Amino acid sequence: MWNLIYTVISVLSTLPLSIVAPEATLVFVGDAMQHQAQLDKALEIGKDEYDYSECFNLISTAISEADYAVCNLEVPLGGGPDYSGYPCFSAPDSYAESLKEAGFDMLLTANNHCLDRRGKAAKRTLNALDSLQIDHIGTFRSVEERDSLAPYIKDINGFKIAFLNYTYGTNGIKPDEGIEVALIDKEKIKSEIAKARARGAEIIVVAMHWGIEYVLIENNVQDELADFLIDNGVDMIIGSHPHVVQPMKVVHNENENKDVLVVYSLGNFISNMKTADTRGGAMVWATLTRDEEGRARFKDAEYEILFAAKPEGKRNFRVIPGWLEDSVPIYQKQHWEIFKRGSLKVFDQHNVNVPRHKNFSL
């Protein structure tokens, strides 16, 4: 037996590292909203509690099969009983619990709605996520906590990956109770990227809450910030906030001789928004690998579109992936077709080396 094991190890040691090295797949989706109609339906279904069990059952397999899955939680978990939708969101803990059960490993909390219920609810959100054992990044209980926790570094399938999350603002609400929000500040971002490398991160993922709402193409500010992040050595840039999809591209960093994934906006993951372009979003699979010298690298990416179906009868809101479009309720087929045409037009015309996902057997 030992001779066989020794022989296998000897053979593997002679193979190029790129053949035997593992890969890792990360999945990202956009904004998890919680409008009043979503709250009302969840309570109707759950009777005396908020039930989201049906919302993600058509997408959970794809999410769970990734090595690590990330979603933007664009609502504070304010605690009951006065939950609310737009303009000042507050959702029950069961919403975050349902996202975890769907397969998400990390929830992003730096966004323009994170202080909707002020610092008290922002802190409560972090406590709730910790209680549910869901990773999170973007807001902190104090400056000192940010200094100790950011960047968030995770070992994923043998890759040491750092996650950072920043927002352009908080709708004019100033932090209180010591809460710390990671705002887009170039000097701070540069410092935390450097800290990630110093702490041994092989891959750096930066989630940016940026851009202009409802605009399907990125603007000059997003482009300039993306260039800044690339110049500072990040490997993936994942955007949110516009509530509509924006292009994705793979850019080559000449200085470090590596490819970088830039996703300007993943749109809405789930919401009650009504205009055609806001009826859904996209999910992105990003694969990591190692080169022949053993260095971790972003390898490639692909996407699929997602539709947020509204409730019909006893059915709750549901996220429906493109490969299951037959599951779109009959009275929403036209909305789906309009959303699909608009989203695919953006990606077909503007994506660079990020194709649509071809494996529809998930």
Q: ∠ CA(215), CA(217), CA(222), 5° rounding?
A: 100
Q: How high is the pLDDT of residue 234?
A: 98
Q: 306: phi > 0 → left, psi -120 to 50 → alpha, else beta; which?
A: beta
Residue 181 and residue 59: Cα distance in Å, rounded? Answer: 30
Taking only the tens of pLDDT, the chain with its 362 residues reads 444 434 444 444 444 444 445 899 999 999 999 999 999 999 999 998 999 999 999 999 999 999 999 999 999 999 988 999 999 999 999 999 999 999 999 999 999 999 999 999 999 999 999 999 999 999 999 999 999 999 999 999 999 999 999 999 999 999 999 999 999 999 999 999 999 999 999 999 999 999 999 999 999 999 999 999 999 999 999 999 999 999 999 999 999 999 999 999 999 999 999 999 999 999 999 999 999 999 999 999 999 999 999 999 889 999 999 999 999 999 999 999 999 999 999 999 999 999 999 865 44
Taken in order 80, 85, 91, 94, is the CA torsion positive or negative?
Answer: positive
Q: What are phi and psi of 253, to 5 degrees?
A: -85, 105
Q: Residue 272: is it exposed, middle or buried by C-beta count within 10 angstroms (0-12/13-18/19+)?
A: buried
Taken in order 271, 273, 279, 284, is the CA torsion positive or negative?
Answer: negative
Q: How high is the pLDDT of residue 241?
A: 98
pTM over cut 0.75: yes
Place of tokens 């993306």: 226
Q: ∠ CA(8), CA(14), CA(15), 5° rounding?
A: 95
Q: Residue 3: is it exposed, middle or buried by C-beta count within 10 angstroms (0-12/13-18/19+)?
A: exposed
Amino acid at 284: V
Torsion angle defined by CA atoms of residues 288, 292, 193 and 219, in that order, rounded to the nearest 10 degrees: -60
Residue 171 and residue 8: Cα distance in Å, rounded? Answer: 59
Q: How high is the pLDDT of residue 217?
A: 98
DSSP code for 176 = -
Q: What are the Cα distances from residue 166, in Å, to 44, 53, 197, 225?
A: 35, 30, 18, 12
Q: ∠ CA(46), CA(52), CA(53), 5° rounding?
A: 95
Q: Which of 336, 275, 308 is nearest to 56 (CA)?
A: 308
